[in-house]
Amino acid sequence: MQSAQNTIDDAEIAKFQAMAAEWWNPDGMFKPLHMLNPCRLDYITSQIAAEFDRDLSGDAPFAGLRILDIGCGGGLLSEPMARLGADVVGADAAERNIPVARLHAEQSGLTIDYRHTSAEALADAGEQFDVVLNMEVVEHVSDPQAYINACHALLKPGGLMVCSTINRNPKSFAMAIVGAEYIMRWLPKGTHEWSKFITPDELYKLIENAGLDPVDRKGFVFNPISWSWRLSDRDLSVNYVTASVRRA
């Protein structure tokens, strides 16, 4: 098999290398993800449960499922998936993230296969998964279509991809860049590039071009009064998430 295209953007990886030690600090550089995580997990677990007919109230409801958390960072999503019984591979192109994730998993008594690798390298190796978690990654790669194509190759027939990103419009510039990076200082300046944000229609097109069938999309909406996130069926104006399946 010919080597897949490498969509790693070295400049983007350097940003996350510099922040690696901060992953498990809820008041640190990744505070926005810690706040968003319950909302992300609600969506992810409900989509997996629906697609694979799993009862979330049971013990280890994701037992027997192989899940890839691509762009896993410090393991904020990998660890909950492992606790639900899944066989989890966490992959990240930022090498410094991996020992941070491994150490925290070990301290938490969890077995997670963390790897310094890319989606394309995993696809090249013939790896396949029931679920691919592709959360807040696609806006950081050099070629979004090639990257989504690799995610398709990583899915077993009938598999599920959950993909989230940030919309591209004036509101997202005001909130995700000016608000998060300059006013609230939740993230270092330059973490995101507005030009690399992707509209929901553009992401759907990327997903469909890769041979996946989109089945759902929702917005993640921040409430500055309650200081919390919620899912929205209609408001995809800034952060949003999609679910798509590989045809069986």
CATH number at residue 137: 3.40.50.150
Per-residue model confidence (pLDDT) at position 175? 75
User: Which domain range does residue 88 map to?
Assistant: 2-164+198-214
Per-residue model confidence (pLDDT) at position 39? 96
Q: Would 10 be classed as within a structural domain? A: yes
Q: Would 171 be classed as within a structural domain? A: no
Per-residue model confidence (pLDDT) at position 182? 73
Q: Is 182 within 8 Å of 189 (Cβ atoms)?
A: yes
Q: Would 235 be classed as within a structural domain? A: no
Q: Six-digit token pair at 103?
A: 């150490």
Per-residue model confidence (pLDDT) at position 20? 54
For residue 106, which amino acid is it? E
DSSP letters spanning 117-153 = --HHHHHHTT--EEEEEEES-GGGSS-HHHHHHHHHH
Q: Would 219 be classed as within a structural domain? A: no
Per-residue model confidence (pLDDT) at position 3? 39
By C-alpha distance, which of 184, 129, 185, 191 is closest to 162? Answer: 129
Question: Whole-angstrom Cα distance, residue 89 to residue 82?
Answer: 9
Q: Would 241 be classed as within a structural domain? A: no
Question: Whole-angstrom Cα distance, residue 197 to residue 204?
Answer: 14
Q: Would 232 be classed as within a structural domain? A: no
Q: Would 143 be classed as within a structural domain? A: yes
pLDDT along the chain (248 residues), means of 10: 60 58 82 90 98 96 98 96 98 92 94 97 98 95 97 98 96 79 68 86 98 98 90 96 96
Q: Would 188 be classed as within a structural domain? A: no
Per-residue model confidence (pLDDT) at position 1? 39
- Structural domain count, the chain: 1
Counting DSSP H helices and E strands in the chain, the numbers are: 8, 8
